[in-house]
Structure 1
């Protein structure tokens, strides 16, 4: 039995659980799009429809998204690793040239994403070194058929077909 005593051990052990990868997008007051990448997205409630993700308190993108009062969750496809890496960067111009259209509430829906979920910011709670950001779902749709981008043991991957 291993006892977790530090963040590196905790991350290594939890890395054995694969997660989907989502881009959280929003449009700032100056109409400039912004984004962050999360591997911690989940449904919360069916009635009312709520979803959540867990931004790091040290994130420089989260305050921009939070200030927008809403966001769009883009479920990334397994061929969008390069886009994922670009949107995860600290580059202030990371969204330049990223093809997208706007959701009903005005947040970017990324071209090629599998699905999108358009939300208003419902609540934010502190949780250790992260926040729990809860969104109220207003619209959602399947954007493109395919399989999701996964993150597992520190690497990106894809769903393998069952034989």
Structure 2
């Protein structure tokens, strides 16, 4: 490793942030060479120490989702300050930030076959979206944004429990 060439170096840390480009449409048609910068960020932070210990965190930041129907605001605690009535039909939007840690604790544990961090990011992003929206033809009802965020986090934890260690899952 490069850091072993320098006695004074005890660890190296690298942070990578990727923002996807999205093709733009002009007059309802995909433009042949026009793109706009997407909103969410794919992040990865890697720290490796001279001893070979390793820490790999990855995540998604700023993943904005919106449903225009099939969302309510009901079943919440009420007190004298509660002004809003319950409803079974409203727009709901949220921004998701989720982090996870890969289970490699030493460079010797890295897979010999290429490991695709981008694929895992895309898989997590798909689970979040699928849980938020439900099937494309019928959707899924949510009684509250809190309930939906809980279900999204639970589904990611269930689906990827053996492959990633959830560090922190902010679903705002």
Q: TM-score range by the shorter chain?
A: under 0.3
Q: What TM-score do the two structures reach when normalised by structure 2? A: 0.24
Structure ranking higher in helix proportion: 2
Question: What TM-score results when the alignment is normalised by the length of structure 1?
Answer: 0.25
- Comparing both chains, which one has the higher relative contact order based on Cα–Cα distances under 8 Å and sequence gaps of 6 or more? 1
Mark the structure with the bigger radius of gyration. 2
